[in-house]
Amino acid sequence: MHRIVVLDAISIPKAFPLPRPSFEHEWVSYETTKPEEIVPRAKDATIVVTNKCKLTSQVLSQLPKLQFIAELATGFNNIDVAFCKEKGIGVATIQGYSTKSVAEHTLTMMLMLSRNSLITRKAMEDGIWVNANCFCQLPAPIVDLDGKTVAIIGNGAIGSRIGKLCEAFGMKVLKVEHKGESNIREGYCEFDKAILEADFISVNCPLNDKTNNLITAREFGMMKKSCYIINNARGGVVNEQDLVNALLSEEIAGAAGDVASTEPLTSDHPFSKCLKMDNFILTPHQAWMSDACLTELVKQFGENLEAFNQGKRVRRVD
């Protein structure tokens, strides 16, 4: 009989419960699990379910009965997949479920920044319209997306979807080549050239050794002062202190993101200095959490468990 241990059930809203598998099992669920609690809680597990708990080789080597990891996300940088391959531990993720939602979240941020929605909202709260002597008011300039250039870093499913939405707004879309790459693929734009030309930059690539600190003070110094950057990938892709410095020094026009290198956000995080700025939008890692996304997530999770039990490889990354 399989022993299934859910390490961080709190990441999935209770309105979308994880389905129990049809095969015989014991189910143990924890709302949250601290790093030092993973081994004691999962030492007898044959299946571990997680979203963001870090399953390093050191941790995994202490789980002798583990056969399968069900990741409740698309990204799996929290799992040492190389170790899993070596030890024959299966790893399956949730795939393609949040593409449309994250893309829409990105476009929402672009529109809010370009149309200065935060400034207008505050002005409305302060009575700019009810106390006006003219039918129209313009608390801050409005920039149209039409005719602007967006550089998309990471052109997988989400990045490609963002590109299509931007094209629908009349934007010029640049698919950005890997940083430092001299052989430019057809249809792509050299990294530095894209950074220089962009009015908007959308970061959508996975976090790994090559993309960690991909955007730093060097890149911010190259950007137009009118440029906006949106990071809905992973916090570490954009150097967060450098981003804050660029905002405070007005090197760029604004920024937005749905991620941070430390989640939940800590009070001493660099972003804490910008949370009340009118040209900075930060949402709490929610772009993937639309009703449609969560419905699809729990469906895929159930399929992944059943496939593993049947010896089938479904959405496997090991």
Contact (Cβ atoms closer than 8 angstroms) between residue 188 and residue 160: no
Per-residue model confidence as pLDDT tens digits over 163-194: 999 999 999 999 999 999 999 999 999 999 99
> Is it true that the peptide bond before 139 is cis, omega within 30 degrees of 0?
no
List the 47-50 sheet strands across, edge first.
25-29, 2-6, 47-50, 68-71, 90-92
93-119 pLDDT, tens digit each: 999 999 999 999 999 999 999 999 999
Average pLDDT of 73-96?
96
Q: Which of 105, 161, 285, 315 is catalytic?
A: 285
Q: Which of 2, 161, 234, 315 is catalytic?
A: 234
Q: Can you tell me the distance from the alpha carbon of 269 to that of 290, in angstroms, rounded to the nearest whole number?
A: 27
- Tell me whether residue 121 is one of the annotated catalytic residues: no
Q: Catalytic: 263?
A: yes
User: What domains can you pick out in the chain, each with its CATH number?
Assistant: 2-97+292-309 (3.40.50.720), 99-282 (3.40.50.720)
More confident residue, 42 or 318: 42
Please indicate whether residue 25 is annotated as part of the active site: no
Q: What is the pTM of this model?
A: 0.90
Average pLDDT, integer, range 209-235: 97
The closest of 54, 88, 46 to 71, measured between CA atoms, is 54
CB of 216 within 8 A of CB of 192?
Answer: no
